[in-house]
């Protein structure tokens, strides 16, 4: 069956969007970091402590990644010594609904598979 190339392009674009979402959602740390920030942890050390088990190097990398994804903002305050604070963006809020959907499906799925 010949494939309509316009349809194929739309399909590929659609898969790419799903992949984009999964890159953020299924990373081992990204969601945990955003949750830690939502919980009120603004400083590097506080986020590190809240998560536990993440190396400073990995946390640093993931924070940079999340900043590039426009999910968090890094603010530098001109104090002595300098204060650095991380906050979640309004765009990050849109993740809440998505995580909620995943959770709901996960619960339903567990019931379907294990009956409880």
Compose the 76-115 pattern: x for residues touching a copy of itself by CB under 8 A, - for all others. ---------------x--xx-xxx-xxxxxxxxxx-xx--
Q: Three-state SS for 82?
A: coil
Q: Smallest distance from the beta carbon of 66 to a copy of itself, in angstroms? A: 11
Footprint on residues 12-51 left by a copy of itself (CB under 8 A):
14, 16-22, 24-26, 31
Task: Report the candidate in 56, 55, 74 with the shortest Cα–Cα distance to residue 64.
Answer: 74
Only one of the segments 11-19, 49-57, 58-66, 77-85 lies at the binding site for a copy of itself (rule: CB under 8 A); that segment is: 11-19
**104, containing H or E segment:** helix 90-114
Residue number, 40 or 81, with CB nearest to a copy of itself: 40
Helix ranges (DSSP H) in 3-89? 5-25, 30-38, 44-51, 56-68
Cα 24 to chain centroid distance, Å, stands at 4
Helices (H) and strands (E) in the chain, counts: 5, 2
Residues contributing to the site for a copy of itself (CB under 8 A):
14, 16-22, 24-26, 31, 68-70, 91, 94-95, 97-99, 101-110, 112-113
């Amino acid at each position: 069956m010949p494939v309509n190339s316009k349809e194929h392009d739309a399909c590929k674009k659609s898969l790419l969007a799903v992949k984009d979402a999964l890159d953020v959602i299924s990373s081992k740390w990204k969601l945990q970091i955003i949750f830690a920030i939502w919980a009120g942890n603004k400083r590097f050390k506080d986020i590190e402590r809240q998560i536990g088990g993440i190396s400073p190097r990995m946390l640093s990398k993931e924070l940079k990644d999340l900043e590039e994804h426009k999910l968090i903002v890094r603010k530098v305050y001109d104090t002595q010594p300098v204060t650095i604070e991380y906050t979640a963006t309004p765009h990050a809020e849109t993740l809440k609904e998505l995580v909620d959907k995943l959770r709901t499906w996960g619960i339903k799925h567990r019931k379907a598979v294990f009956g409880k």
